[in-house]
Amino acid sequence: MIGNGKRWTVKEIRAALEAKQVSARELAIEHYARIERRNPELNAFLALSPERAYTQAERVDALVARGEPLPSLAGVPLAVKDVISTRGIRSTCGSRILEDYVPPYDATAVARLEAAGALILGKTNCDEFAMGSSNENSAFGPVRNPVAPDRVPGGSSGGSAAAVAAGLAVAALGTDTGGSIRQPGALCGIPAMMPSYGRVSRYGLIAFASSLDRIGPFASSVRDVAAVMQVLAGHDPADSTSAETPVPNYLAALDKPVTGLRIGIPRQYFGEGMDSGVRRSVEAAIERLKGLGCRPVELEMPHTDYAIATYYLIATAEASSNLARYDGVRYPLRVPAATLGEMYRDTRGRGFGAEVKRRIMLGTYALSAGYYEAYYLKAQKVRALIARDFAEAFEKADLIVTPTSPVPAFRLGERTADPLQMYLADIYTVTGSLAGVPGISVPCGKTSEGLPIGLQIFGPAFGEAQVMQLAHAFEQAAG
């Protein structure tokens, strides 16, 4: 039952545990066996934590043996992106500068998952400090897309997406700053959720851009995404940007009918630059939603075209500030030098990869004296206009549907020559990042070459329940 590569769901695990058909320990053994078989090729995992996973499995199996009620994610094998702190497990952020860093604490998200009974299998590979859209910027090698191993899984949460897509984990945590959960979900063909800003605590998330970063789940079904979201969501006093907005029951909302929901279709997301296979698939998806009783509403979101420029000024400025702490003083990489200044420069010069340095410099420039108003401040104002586009759109529509990515998974090395070209692949995702709203990518088809395509659904801030409700209905209708 286990050994045939079966894709478990949260519900199936619970039922099998309660019926004593499988133990949490067996689930851990099976998933580690799969990782051993496929990780050398995929490079999805950077570190494994069997001691922790088996200790947790023991706890879960003891509850089963005593006939006690099981917590909501009991026995669920999970992976965690390497930018998220895990006590005692090396957390590198895909960077040499943290290659030997072992956090002394767990991120709140990790603590909550473990309290819910999940088995933390290990840490997944990602673009360095979450900066990238292909997982080619990791200091520890790229991740390969399980659907097509000569292609990228997307980024920056490429490892987490690949792990779930390949059945190496039942669910995984990623982070999304400009698209880094949604886009890999689309490229690997699995549901992937970016919650509203502040919905999930950032305590323990090693910061890239503090006003944009969010933790969110990958899973093999929207139902499982909702199950993980239920555990992650909620106020955390340890994160000063954590929202006190109440958390609804996501699973209860999932099966509500979607007839009559107004789905906004913004003209600006359907212009040029979209692969024809993606366009066909997304248009067919919209037809399917209409078939479910959703009412399409045409929208204008006039500042869409300015989102990439806005994002790459704000995110890089915040990154330049957040990454200033990696200077050889407190964290493991230190390049010895005669003076403090040289130590800073050499440690950072050696420890950071090219994309990270590029963004730090761009951000430093945008914040520097004489340029701050023209770049950073200007971008913050345009950000307000982009947020306003969403607020106005949500007066006319309940949800907004767009493609997740203009292109399907591209080949390794195909887009690495020109950084700006890589940035432009984020056009559909960065808008929602800037506005603070939630968004999910749900698989909606494949190209003629068999490459997955994702449909993105945006909701109003703290509207995750309805986002997942529509995604679930869509997924079920696809069959």
Nearest to other proteins of 178, 443 (CB atom): 178
The single residue of 23, 81, 85, 242 carrying the catalytic annotation is 81
Name the strand (E) or helix (H) holding 250: helix 250-254
CB of 150 to other proteins, least distance (A): 26
The C-alpha atoms of residue 467 and residue 458 are separated, in whole angstroms, by 7
Nearest to other proteins of 57, 379 (CB atom): 379
The single residue of 180, 220, 320, 433 carrying the catalytic annotation is 180
Give the one residue of 196, 230, 268, 402 binding other proteins; rule: CB under 8 A: 196
Q: Does position 297 bind other proteins by CB under 8 A?
A: no
The C-alpha atoms of residue 294 and residue 164 are separated, in whole angstroms, by 30
Q: Does position 140 bind other proteins by CB under 8 A?
A: no
Q: Does position 303 bind other proteins by CB under 8 A?
A: yes
Q: Does position 67 bind other proteins by CB under 8 A?
A: no
Closest CA to 226 of 45, 375, 47, 9: 9
The C-alpha atoms of residue 176 and residue 428 are separated, in whole angstroms, by 13
Give the one residue of 19, 69, 260, 338 binding other proteins; rule: CB under 8 A: 338
How is residue 210 written in tokens?
A: 């503090």
CB of 438 to other proteins, least distance (A): 10
Residues 6+ apart with CB under 8 A from 322: 207, 208, 209, 210
In sequence order, what are the beta bridge partners of 79?
A: 122, 172
Regarding beta strands 399-403 and 214-219, do their DSSP bridges make them parallel or antiparallel, or are they unpaired?
A: unpaired
Q: Does position 270 bind other proteins by CB under 8 A?
A: no
Q: Does position 344 bind other proteins by CB under 8 A?
A: yes
Q: Does position 197 bind other proteins by CB under 8 A?
A: yes
Q: Does position 248 bind other proteins by CB under 8 A?
A: no
Give the one residue of 262, 288, 358, 446 binding other proteins; rule: CB under 8 A: 358
Stretch that binds other proteins, among 75-83, 262-270, 312-320, 399-407 (CB under 8 A): 312-320
Give the one residue of 349, 411, 413, 478 binding other proteins; rule: CB under 8 A: 349
Answer whether 165's CB lies under 8 Å from 190's CB.
Answer: yes
Give the one residue of 70, 234, 245, 372 binding other proteins; rule: CB under 8 A: 245
Q: What is the DSSP letter of 84?
A: B
What does the chain come to in residues? 479
Nearest to other proteins of 205, 453 (CB atom): 205
How is residue 284 written in tokens?
A: 């067919």
Q: Does position 247 bind other proteins by CB under 8 A?
A: no
Residue 159, Cα to own-chain centre: how many angstroms? Answer: 10
Closest CA to 439 of 205, 139, 212, 207: 212
Q: Does position 476 bind other proteins by CB under 8 A?
A: no
The C-alpha atoms of residue 382 and residue 234 are separated, in whole angstroms, by 29
The C-alpha atoms of residue 222 and residue 469 are separated, in whole angstroms, by 9
Footprint (CB under 8 A) of other proteins, residues 74-103: 101-102
Greatest CA separation found in the chain? 70
DSSP reduced 3-state for 173: strand
Closest CA to 145 of 176, 170, 155: 155
Footprint (CB under 8 A) of other proteins, residues 213-242: 240-241
Give the one residue of 72, 364, 416, 476 binding other proteins; rule: CB under 8 A: 364
CB of 45 to other proteins, least distance (A): 23
The C-alpha atoms of residue 310 and residue 430 are separated, in whole angstroms, by 9
Q: Does position 466 bind other proteins by CB under 8 A?
A: no
Q: Does position 110 bind other proteins by CB under 8 A?
A: no
Q: Does position 420 bind other proteins by CB under 8 A?
A: yes
Active site residue 180: yes
Active site residue 81: yes
Q: Does position 461 bind other proteins by CB under 8 A?
A: yes
Catalytically annotated residues: 81, 156, 180
